[in-house]
Amino acid sequence: MKIVDAKVVVTSPGRNFVTLKLTTDEGLTGLGDATLNGRELAVVSYLADHVVPLLIGLDPHRVEDTWQSLYRGAYWRRGPVTMAAIAAVDVALWDIKAKAAGLPLYQLLGGASRERVGTYGHAGGRDIPELLDSVRARLAEGYPAVRVQSGIPGLKAVYGVVDTDDTGAPVLHQQARPLVEDWDTAAYLRHVPAVFEAVRAEFGAELPLLHDVHHRLTPIQAARLGKDLEPYRPFWLEDCTPAENQEALRLVRRSTTTPLAVGEVFNTVYDYQALITEQLIDYVRSAVTHFGGVTPLRKLFDFAAQYQIRSAIHGPEDISPVGMAAAVHLDLAVHNFGIQEYSGHTPLTEAVFRHAYTFTDGHLHPGETPGIGVELDEELAAAHPYEAAYLPVNRLHDGTVHDW
Ligand SMILES: [Mg+2]
């Protein structure tokens, strides 16, 4: 079998998605997600200009060899653009291999290690009463665990809280120019324990509660927050310090027993090396789409398993259904699965990417369709072309840029 066609499809059914579609001489097709939110077209060029010419004529069964040749052959290794491009190729090849075998991908990864995949959903409110309503809504949708994010008194816009305009309509964080949010670390640190206290008082001790700090604290601030949240037994504290500094988590770890989750902006196992071998974290959070695909993420999970660290694949709305499908196959197969982030997609996105995976009673299942189980409606995709969009930036009250 040979790859005879490779094309990159960019579509924006509400937000931008980049998809690689490979076709073989036997008529099999494979899809891979290459969406890098806010920098999408850099990956499009990487794929179309530099990778697609190398794929034509390749045997799609050679998944590992193709991964190694794209990773090592570029010489310029790692980085989000490179690894998103390689991820798309890797997942598309796994899709073809599984289709050729007549099996859903999870069967090629060792088969199911569980019956279904537990998830957490996002709850957010501009204040605590609005947050409690949002938690109630997620529980009504069946989610067994909830990430809680709240507005902070004195701040206009905060990560994880949907902003609304004067008419009450949601303001999308994807903008033609970056939306400017504001930040005050002291106000945040004062408010978050009260948020957890209110949610525990309303929903009891058993509900798993997660919280995302989005890389905004110094090590000593993160240590303080971890200690302050201990009475509320969070499921985890996510990305508490900036991702570039692995050493930061030594101080946090020494100071608190609150579980720590990191890695959504990591690209390779080397970003995790000290964190895993020194057991500084509890969950690895990389997405299939940004970590070079199923091949390296499976290896990361096996490495993490030696240290009792669990998987928790990044699953925001900007991971396309193609990337989500690949994640759910891995989730079902790996032994050290922890939890899967899942927000779902809009009906229009689900029409562009028809998928076999299902979400029932707060749990995902990849389905039994051979391959990853996603079909791309190219006509509908073409009807919704790329739109320029940026993620927000964050500024302190004096105008200084802060981590977003
Ligand atoms: Mg996050």
159 is known as an active-site residue: yes
Using the mean position of ligand 1's atoms as its centre, give its distance from the Cα of residue 219 in Å. Answer: 18
Domain boundaries, the chain: 3-103, 108-371
Residue type, 43: V
pLDDT at 173: 53
pLDDT at 348: 98
Using the mean position of ligand 1's atoms as its centre, give its distance from the Cα of residue 311 in Å. Answer: 14
Using the mean position of ligand 1's atoms as its centre, give its distance from the Cα of residue 264 in Å. Answer: 6
pLDDT at 159: 84
What is the total residue count of the chain?
A: 404
Residue type, 113: S
The Cα–Cα gap between 114 and 50 comes to: 39
Using the mean position of ligand 1's atoms as its centre, give its distance from the Cα of residue 316 in Å. Answer: 8
- CB 25, CB 9: distance < 8 Å: no
Instruction: Tell me the mean pLDDT in the region 165-169.
Output: 57
Using the mean position of ligand 1's atoms as its centre, give its distance from the Cα of residue 1 in Å. Answer: 40
The confidence band for 168, taking pLDDT boundaries of 50, 70 and 90, is low
The Cα–Cα gap between 349 and 368 comes to: 21
The string of DSSP codes covering 143-165 is -SSEEEEE--TT-S--TTS-EE-
Using the mean position of ligand 1's atoms as its centre, give its distance from the Cα of residue 254 in Å. Answer: 23
CATH topology of domain 108-371: TIM Barrel (3.20.20)
Query: What percent of the chain has a predicted confidence (pLDDT) above 90?
Result: 93
Sequence-separated (6 or more) residues with CB below 8 Å from residue 277: 307
Using the mean position of ligand 1's atoms as its centre, give its distance from the Cα of residue 332 in Å. Answer: 22
Using the mean position of ligand 1's atoms as its centre, give its distance from the Cα of residue 239 in Å. Answer: 7
- pLDDT for residue 24 is more than 60: yes
Measured CA to CA in angstroms, residue 19 lies from 118, 250, 367 at distances of 26, 38, 21
The string of DSSP codes covering 72-88 is HHTSS--SHHHHHHHHH
Average pLDDT, the chain: 96
Most confident residue range from 156-170, 174-188, 319-333, 384-398: 319-333
Judge if 3-103 and 108-371 fold alike in CATH terms.
Answer: no
- pLDDT for residue 164 is more than 70: no
pLDDT at 221: 98
User: For residue 362, which of 139, 207, 209 has the smallest C-alpha distance?
Assistant: 139
Q: What is the CA radius of gyration of the chain?
A: 21
Note the pLDDT tens digit of each residue in 321-345: 999 999 999 999 999 999 999 999 9
Instruction: Tell me the mean pLDDT in the region 183-196.
Output: 97
Query: What percent of the chain has a predicted confidence (pLDDT) above 70?
Result: 97
The Cα–Cα gap between 206 and 183 comes to: 31
Q: How far is CA 356 from the centre of its chain?
A: 19
Using the mean position of ligand 1's atoms as its centre, give its distance from the Cα of residue 389 in Å. Answer: 19
The Cα–Cα gap between 134 and 125 comes to: 7
**b/e map 324-355, b = 16+ CB within 10 Å:** bbbbbbbbbbbebbbbbbbebbeeebeebbeb
Instruction: Tell me the mean pLDDT in the region 94-114.
Output: 98
The confidence band for 209, taking pLDDT boundaries of 50, 70 and 90, is very high
The Cα–Cα gap between 135 and 123 comes to: 5
**b/e map 216-227, b = 16+ CB within 10 Å:** bbbbebbbbbbe
Instruction: Tell me the mean pLDDT in the region 243-272.
Output: 97
**Poorest-confidence range of 76-85, 165-174, 386-395?**
165-174
Among 122, 173, 191, 214, the active-site one is: 214
- pLDDT for residue 162 is more than 80: no
CB atoms within 10 A of CB 43: 26
Using the mean position of ligand 1's atoms as its centre, give its distance from the Cα of residue 238 in Å. Answer: 6
The confidence band for 140, taking pLDDT boundaries of 50, 70 and 90, is very high
Among 61, 159, 307, 386, the active-site one is: 159
| Domain boundaries 3-103, CATH class | alpha beta
Sequence-separated (6 or more) residues with CB below 8 Å from residue 168: none
**Poorest-confidence range of 96-100, 172-176, 239-243, 373-377?**
172-176
Joined together, the tokens standing for residue 399 give 């105008």
Joined together, the tokens standing for residue 63 give 């998944």
The better pLDDT of the pair 163, 369 is held by 369
The Cα–Cα gap between 306 and 363 comes to: 26
The confidence band for 172, taking pLDDT boundaries of 50, 70 and 90, is low
The confidence band for 158, taking pLDDT boundaries of 50, 70 and 90, is confident
Helices (H), 8-145: 40-45, 52-55, 63-73, 80-101, 105-108, 128-140
Measured CA to CA in angstroms, residue 76 lies from 68, 121, 276, 291 at distances of 13, 36, 25, 15
pLDDT at 349: 98
The Cα–Cα gap between 144 and 304 comes to: 24
pLDDT at 177: 85
CB atoms within 10 A of CB 133: 11
Using the mean position of ligand 1's atoms as its centre, give its distance from the Cα of residue 334 in Å. Answer: 22
Q: How far apart are the first and last CA of the chain?
A: 46
The confidence band for 84, taking pLDDT boundaries of 50, 70 and 90, is very high
232 is known as an active-site residue: no
